[in-house]
């Protein structure tokens, strides 16, 4: 086998230009490691905050997205104008639309909101 000389195992000092480059690389490695650590702690903090401040789960008597209780039917009374003839109805996002004709013969659309329990829009429909 070949014998390794002890002089070859020791590192020789770097020239000043290479030593400057090595120092810059070590400094860059320390700065990027610190940035990664701070970023990781920010993500970890956000996850802990989100878990600690999450909304409680809805129970069986909770209100659905439309504002209607899920465990009991909603009872409401809508006051339409006298003589209003309902031609069609529609329901969307907790609101009822009544489309019909008034006593004067005008076409109207009335929007009733179940959450607030009142008429939120009274639209007169005219044709060209």
- DSSP letters, 27-39, are HHHHHHHHHHHHH
Average predicted confidence (pLDDT) for the chain: 82
Decide: helix, strand or coil at residue 4.
coil
How many angstroms separate the CA atoms of 90 and 97, rounded?
Answer: 5
H or E segment to which residue 110 belongs? strand 107-113
Among candidate residues 80, 78, 124, the one with its CA nearest the CA of residue 105: 124
Residue 78 has what pLDDT? 82
Lowest mean pLDDT, pick from 19-33, 40-54, 64-78, 82-96: 64-78
pLDDT per residue over 116-125, tens digit each?
A: 888 888 888 8
State pTM to two decimals. Answer: 0.45
pLDDT per residue over 26-60, tens digit each?
A: 999 999 999 999 999 999 999 999 999 877 665 44
How many angstroms separate the CA atoms of 120 and 93, rounded?
Answer: 13
CB atoms within 10 A of CB 112: 22
How many angstroms separate the CA atoms of 94 and 67, rounded?
Answer: 6
């Amino acid at each position: 086998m070949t014998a390794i000389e002890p002089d070859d195992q020791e590192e020789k000092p770097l020239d000043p230009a290479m030593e400057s480059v090595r120092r810059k690389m070590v400094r860059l490695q320390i700065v990027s490691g610190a940035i990664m650590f701070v970023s990781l702690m920010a993500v970890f903090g956000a996850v802990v905050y989100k878990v600690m401040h999450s909304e409680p789960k809805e129970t069986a008597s909770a209100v659905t997205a439309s504002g209607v209780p899920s465990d009991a039917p909603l009872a409401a009374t809508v006051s339409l104008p006298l003589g209003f003839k309902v031609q069609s109805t529609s329901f969307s996002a907790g609101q009822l639309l009544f489309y019909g004709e008034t006593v004067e013969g005008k076409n109207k659309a009335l929007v009733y909101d179940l959450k607030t329990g009142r008429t939120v829009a009274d639209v007169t429909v005219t044709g060209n």
